[in-house]
Amino acid sequence: MQVKLTVNGRAVTVDAPPNTFLVHAIREHLHLTGTHVGCDTAQCGACTVHVNGRAVKSCNVLVGQVAGADITTIEGIAQPDGTMHPMQAAFKECHGLQCGFCTPGMVMSAIDLCTHHPRSSETEIRSLLDGNLCRCTGYQNIVKAVKMGGEAMLAEPAKATVPA
C-alpha cells in the first residue's frame, strides 16, 4: 500500500503493508531513527510524534490511518540552520535526560503540552506527561526542562513552532 504523507515538511510516499505501525514506517521506511520503539503498546511514549500538530504515540497508529497527514518527528523540530527547538535546548540546559532513550518522545510530548497548556504548574506538567516513562531521571529535571522550554516557547514563538 502506498501512503502519501508530509514528514518534517517534506512530501513522502511510504510503500508498506496496511498493518504497518507508523513508528515502523518512520524508522524502517523513512530511516528517521530518532523516534524510538519502546513498549509497542502505547504505554511508554518513546515513539511520540506529532500528527497534524498533536502528540500521538506512533506505535498505536497504522500508517494507513494517517494518510495525507502532516507528521513531525524529533528530527523535524530544529530550525533549518540547526538551532535547537527551545524545548530541546531546555532539556539540554536542565539535564532532563540520562540515557536518552525516552528523550525524543518526551520532548515531542512536552512541546504539545506547552503548546496546548502554556504556563502549566509542576503538578500539571507531571500529570500531563503521564504516559511518557523515563527509567533514569526521576523526572525532576524533566519537569524543570518542560517549564523552561515552555517559557522559551512563549518568549520566542517563531523558534517554537514546528511544521503542522
- Nearest CA to 97 out of 151, 130, 136, 46 is that of 136
Taking the C-alpha atoms of residue 64 and residue 107, their distance in angstroms, rounded to an integer, is 25
Tens-digit pLDDT profile for residues 91-144: 999 999 999 999 999 999 999 999 999 999 999 999 999 989 998 888 999 999
Taking the C-alpha atoms of residue 103 and residue 97, their distance in angstroms, rounded to an integer, is 6
With 0.85 as the threshold, say if the pTM is over it: yes
Q: Which domains does the chain have, with CATH numbers?
A: 2-74 (3.10.20.30), 86-160 (1.10.150.120)
Tens-digit pLDDT profile for residues 63-100: 999 999 999 999 999 999 999 999 999 999 999 999 99
